[in-house]
Amino acid sequence: MSGTKPAVNLCDYIRDIPDFPKPGIVFKDITPLLANGEAFCASISRLACHIPEDIDAIVGIESRGFLFGAGLSQHGCIGLVPVRKPGKLPADVHGIDYELEYGVDRLEIHRDSLSAGHRVVIVDDLLATGGTVRATIDLVRQLGAEVAACLFVVELKALGGRQRISDVPVHSLIAYD
């Protein structure tokens, strides 16, 4: 018998929270995964397997994308570029407005964080409708950088987010129908 441990099943660390943030929604809560060192480490290692070569930066989407982005940055010694909601970045920013189901939101990035020729990977915890990541892709491209891949821990396939970002390779560790 070998001394290797069985692989961590990341699904065991995703908890369903019914009717959050509003009735009819089943929220996929990743906090149990974050709280378990072995599961969090496994998620970073598995995401890192999908980072193409010659990447200049990891782009983390506020806020849970920062957690996975920081782990991936440390794992590969790659810089981390945050994409934030308005008013959170201290230097000169470039922003983009994007539509939500009921309204408009905005994302911002430091103007000097990326430039033409940079290749990046975008990371977030969850791919749902794809609106936020689509806006992030467009924001990164407006600075002249190339998006080599988008990485997610969880994907909600029924919401069609992957189709909104079909021009970029997408990898998710867990997919729910």
Could you please state the CATH topology (level 3) that the domain comprising 52-176 is classified under.
Answer: Rossmann fold (3.40.50)
Convert the pLDDT of each residue in 116-142 to its tens digit.
Answer: 999 999 999 999 999 999 999 999 999
Distance CA 120, CA 142 (A): 13
Q: What pLDDT, on the 0 to 100 scale, is given for residue 125?
A: 98
Convert the pLDDT of each residue in 110-121 to its tens digit.
Answer: 999 999 999 999
Q: Is 106 a catalytic residue?
A: no
* Alpha-carbon distances of 155 from 33, 143, 152, rounded to whole Å: 15, 27, 7
Roughly how many angstroms between the first and final C-alpha of the chain, as a whole number?
37
Q: What pLDDT, on the 0 to 100 scale, is given for residue 102?
A: 75
State the chain's mean pLDDT as an integer.
95
Q: What pLDDT, on the 0 to 100 scale, is given for residue 11?
A: 98
Cβ proximity of 147 and 166 under 8 Å: no
Cβ proximity of 159 and 129 under 8 Å: yes
Lowest mean pLDDT among 4-13, 81-90, 149-158: 4-13
Convert the pLDDT of each residue in 62-76 to its tens digit.
Answer: 999 999 999 999 999
Indicate which residue of 64, 106, 111, 141 is catalytic.
64
Three-state SS at 72: helix
Cβ proximity of 43 and 65 under 8 Å: no
Distance CA 12, CA 174 (A): 11
Q: Cβ contacts of residue 2 below 8 Å, gap of 6+?
A: none
Residue 4's pLDDT band (cuts 50, 70, 90) = confident
Q: Is 101 a catalytic residue?
A: yes
Helices (H), 96-158: 131-142
Q: What pLDDT, on the 0 to 100 scale, is given for residue 35?
A: 98
* Token code pair at residue 94: 């470039």
Residue 3's pLDDT band (cuts 50, 70, 90) = low
